[in-house]
Structure 1
Amino acid sequence: MNMLDDEDDQSFHATRDGYSHLSDVEWDAVERMGSTMGIHAVSVMLEALNRDAQHATIAKFIQNELDAEREKVALLHQQGSQQAELLREQGAQQFELLRQQQAAAGGSMHSRRPETLKIDISKV
């Protein structure tokens, strides 16, 4: 089924066969245009444009789609970078807290240890 077959309007049909000069990639883009802009609008546009203008218009539509997808990827990458930075900061804070706890625990062990050593040395 072609998306551009307009059953309600018998006076105008845009079918794949009518635009055999368009590549499969271009025709797929035409169908996506129909979903976005409306089937009738795309059909009228194709009829109004010569072949070169059709190719140029479809190429511009595809480029706009690619740009939109690149922007999404860039935003996801930026969000991922921000999350990674937040995790690094949290990890550094947790590490510092653990280090401080170990230092405090080590300090109390260290103060007891020399006494233990003195006892051991005095017994010898």
Structure 2
Amino acid sequence: MRKRFTAIGISLSALTALLLSTPSYAASPTPAAESQRIAKAMMPSYGWSPSSQFGCLVSLWNRVSRWSTTAGTPSGPYGIPRANPGKLMASAGPNWKTNARTQIKWGFGYIKKHYSTPCAAWSHYQSSGRY
């Protein structure tokens, strides 16, 4: 095996260092059900009725992140709403990398600004594969 890697110019120690430096993300510190409870409680403050909009939000964020606060990588699409790059969520709070409430707050602002409602965002996602 050592010969194979050195033949392409990578030593075994360099390959090992590369593999060990690749970021990995732990399971979301907030269970999906808890994140959904938080989101449902926050919806009225954005002018959305949970009875008509929550199902669309659940479908959307199930599809893009499975409600994981650590989905993706911070330098690319990240978190429950899949902000791209993830650091955009810093505008909602300094704990954006792992805090469900902060990520939901940012995601709700994004949805409100670009689609008006979660159902409109979900509809757009279904037709285009993105939101």
Query: If the length of structure 1 is used for normalisation, what is the TM-score?
Result: 0.32
- Higher Rg of the two aligned structures: 1
Greater share of helix? 1
Q: Using CA pairs below 8 Å that are at least 6 residues apart, which structure has the higher relative contact order?
A: 2
Query: If the length of structure 2 is used for normalisation, what is the TM-score?
Result: 0.30
